[in-house]
Amino acid sequence: MSVTAIKGMNDVLPGVVETWQFLEQSARDVFGLYGFSEIRTPIAEKTELFCRSIGETTDIVEKEMYTFSDKSENSLTLRPEGTAPVMRSFIQNRLHNLDPVSKLYYMGPMFRYERPQKGRYRQFHQIGVEVVGVEDAKIDAQVLAMLHQYFVRIEIDSVSLQINSLGCPECRPGYRQELINYLESRLDSLCGECQRRYQTNPLRVLDCKAQGCQAATVDAPSVLDHLCSPCRDHFAQVKNYLEALHIPFEVNARMVRGLDYYVRTTFELVTDQLGSQNAVAAGGRYDGLVESLGGPALPGIGFAIGLERLVLMKGEQRITAASPQLFIAALGKEAADRAFILMSQLQAAGVRTEMDYMGKSLKAQMRRANKFNAAFTLILGEEELQSGRAQLKDMSDSSQSSVVLDTLVATLTKKFG
């Protein structure tokens, strides 16, 4: 029996990979405009990094990490997300010494041992950004404006932005306790999972999909009613800036995030096109994270986009690979050899060129040129080799022009610019 891929980890094949490349390149283009630079971190980190940042009682750390010991008995984890590794690198490389504001982006695979389904995988890919060093609400709005602009660029408009504020270490504990008290009085209505976690991670109960939990929390206290005045002001400014930039959003006071490092602004970009995996991007502020990982007390904010979910949404609007500009059909060994040299010269000169390698009939070669959707074809046979000229056929209107083989490379390089 042949060996297959690991469940929940997928190949990206030609035909679809072009969509990935388009989405990745668009991110580079848009993020570059906003002054972001790329950062690349290793795929594995010390396990401790994720426990300390994402939080011991989160689903990710409790159940979903790919954790293993290496041969020296170090506990390592395949990164389940990008923020913690980027902050680890930021601190280790003292990036704050280079500039008071760091704007970074990354893209690559992440790993979570979740139950695979449409839009949810065990290896998935994120395009993420992080800004370290700015507390001002302008940066929250700027990051959201950039996310919005990215979706304009990739032409996906069936998404909506939901925002919330989760408060800070000043005001959240009071809210948390009030929520615990509220949940305690309705414990019987909660699912087993929420009964277990309502004390350790009460905010997650608001996010639980179980009907009983949803019904029991309809009147739960709202985090927005418990913000301290600096958090309230900050959130009001974020909303004002978003309005000034004409970025549509909804406030969703029940939105909590699955990672513990968030404070103040949090957000999700959601769609109704992907069933239950409705978040195509998500993020927020993590002002205490850098300090808690041993770095300077600098605020941070960022988001990550789920690339597979974007690819699913692009669906029909598939991006196709650029087709060849020229297909050379050759008849006989001598012509095939000449075609091969011409093709190689043209490719080196930047002209996308294809030929047949199998010694097929002219008819079969022309079928292949059509399949490739080649812009032009050139037929090389004995006669053409002798006369040193051949007919270049424009496949869009079947018009033909005579070209000299010895100057073909120069002629076509000029033609295709």
* Contacts with ligand HAM, residue ranges (CB under 6 A): 81-83, 112, 114, 120-121, 124, 126, 128, 130, 258-259, 279-284, 302-304, 306, 308-309
* Choice between 112 and 226, CB closer to ligand HAM: 112
Look at residues 22, 30, 77 and name the one whose alpha carbon lies nearest to residue 53: 77
Tell me how far, at minimum, the Cβ of 387 lies from ligand HAM, in Å: 59
What angle (nearest 5°) sits at the alpha carbon of residue 84, between those of residues 273 and 151? 30
* Choice between 64 and 356, CB closer to ligand HAM: 64
Residue 373: strand pairing partners: none
Tell me how far, at minimum, the Cβ of 150 lies from ligand HAM, in Å: 13
Residues 6+ apart with CB under 8 A from 88: 41, 45, 49, 293
* Choice between 113 and 372, CB closer to ligand HAM: 113
* Choice between 262 and 376, CB closer to ligand HAM: 262
Q: Residue of minimal CB distance from ligand HAM?
A: 306
Beta carbons of 391 and 378 less than 8 angstroms apart: yes
Tell me how far, at minimum, the Cβ of 47 lies from ligand HAM, in Å: 17
* Choice between 25 and 117, CB closer to ligand HAM: 117
Calpha distance 310→155 (Å, rounded):
11
Residues 6+ apart with CB under 8 A from 151: 157, 159, 269
Task: State the burial class of residue 352 (Cβ atoms within 10 Å of its Cβ: 0-12, 13-18, 19+).
Answer: middle
* Choice between 129 and 392, CB closer to ligand HAM: 129
Calpha distance 242→57 (Å, rounded):
33
| Tokens found for residue 161 | 């932005």
Tell me how far, at minimum, the Cβ of 82 lies from ligand HAM, in Å: 5
Beta carbons of 327 and 319 less than 8 angstroms apart: no
Tell me how far, at minimum, the Cβ of 284 lies from ligand HAM, in Å: 6
Tell me how far, at minimum, the Cβ of 166 lies from ligand HAM, in Å: 12
Calpha distance 243→266 (Å, rounded):
17
